Amino acid sequence: MVEVKLHDIGEGMHEGEVIHFFVKAGDSVKVDQPLVEVQTDKVTAELPSPAAGTIKDIKVKEGDVVTVGSVILTIDAASTSTTPSSQKEEESAESKEQPVVEKIVKAPSHTAFSGGIATLNKRVLAAPYTRKIARENGVDIEQIIGTGPGGRVTDQDVYQFIENGSAPFSEEKIESAAPEKVSAAPSFTTKNAEEIPFKGRRKQIAKKMVQSLATIPHVTHFEEIDVTAVMDLKKQLKAMDPDNKRGMNVSVAAFFVKAIQIALKDFPIFNAKLDEEKEVIRLEKNVNIGIATDSDEGLIVPVISHVEQRNVRDIAHDMKDKITRAKTNKLKGSDMTGGTFTISNVGPLGSIAATPIINHPEVALMAFHKTKKTPVVIGDEIVIRSMMNVSMSFDHRVADGATAVMFTNRVKELIENPYFMTLELI
């Protein structure tokens, strides 16, 4: 007797609601045949049959909420399928003899096939964990043609699709489905082109970006911030110390870093790292802000450590020093380790919005864009203010959109009211 239990389908769930049974007691089932549909707080998934046989007993009802590990139904595997063995052998033999092209021809007319990518207007067969892999990597599983039994999408199909942008077809399938046209590898020519070696830091950056995008389901939202007050404060400080003998000529970006640190204290989920292997989210005690810096050799991220223990002047001094050394390739290894949150201050370059890639294994990154004077309605009056857009990317496995918006709102509040930061002085 085979027990079918509710298992964790990959969302860290504890329970799920039984939505619908596809079978009833006495039904014969095959391996991987959908048995029941279960809904968690994030997904709706089908539990496939782990064995062939006859449904012996259904232990719960539709609408019941069951915990992970609970038995949903049992299968009498000893009875196996009622299909006569001879018939199965005939079907198997027929399947082996049938060319792949015939299988595709027999597919429903609404199935489109082009260039190794199919669009199927039907439910794709895949295990919940396989769907999880696809979902976490931003892949539409319906775009993948499965190579498993009955066209089932396997884990390997998903990984192959992520790596190559297509499912791992056999040569037979490709030739049978589209013999007249086989996609060729892109051709490169060196005529009238300059070749730049793809190695060193450029290649490391590429690996890092691919790892981050392939691992983290990114979500980015945008906000605009009135930076008039913090720019005025900077001017006032500079006027009070024109020779910078007291270190009061600080950058506006230093205020941004301090605002991020204070907001992270209120929303520590963004000052964290997801340890997938041990299935824990590590909330970091220290706030170490990475500063995405453009250099002649590419992107580099020096880290301002222990921001929670430093004032704006210390932060400004450290930022200036490390950005200067980053641009002259004089950073030490220790200057670039231990980051817990990254900012990208691209405003001086002129951007208005972006979808920044998170610095893996961190959870979030905020980009600050250019500031421009804009007419803004305050009360019933139109006034000219200095406005700036920010882009906040976060790991949707770890945090939700509402939390990210609240975090950004807190950063916005602090930047628009820089005197609030004095309340957070240590």
Q: So which residues are the catalytic ones?
A: 396
What is residue 293's three-state secondary structure? Answer: strand
**58: closest CA among 20, 13, 113?**
20
**CA 28 to CA 56: how far, in whole Å?**
10
The CA dihedral of 65, 71, 77, 82, to the nearest 10 degrees, is -20
Residues 6+ apart with CB under 8 A from 389: 222, 223, 224, 225, 352, 353, 369, 370
The two tokens of residue 14 are: 């504890």
Q: What are phi and psi of 72, to 5 degrees?
A: -95, -45
**CA 253 to CA 320: how far, in whole Å?**
10
Q: How many CB atoms lie within 10 A of CB 126?
A: 27
Cα end-to-end span (Å), the chain: 65
* 176-198 residues labelled b (16+ CB within 10 A) or e (exposed): bbbeeeeeeeeeeeeeeeeeeee
Tell how far CA 307 is from the center of its chain.
Answer: 27
Q: What are phi and psi of 25, to 5 degrees?
A: -55, 135
Q: Is the peptide bond before 217 cis (omega within 30 degrees of 0)?
A: no
**CA 383 to CA 381: how far, in whole Å?**
6
Classify burial at 145, counting beta carbons within 10 Å of its beta carbon; exposed 0-12, middle 13-18, buried 19 or more: buried
What is residue 141's three-state secondary structure? Answer: helix
Cα separations (Å) of 8 from 15, 69, 154, 400?
Answer: 8, 8, 18, 20
E strands in 186-270: 218-226
What is residue 187's three-state secondary structure? Answer: coil
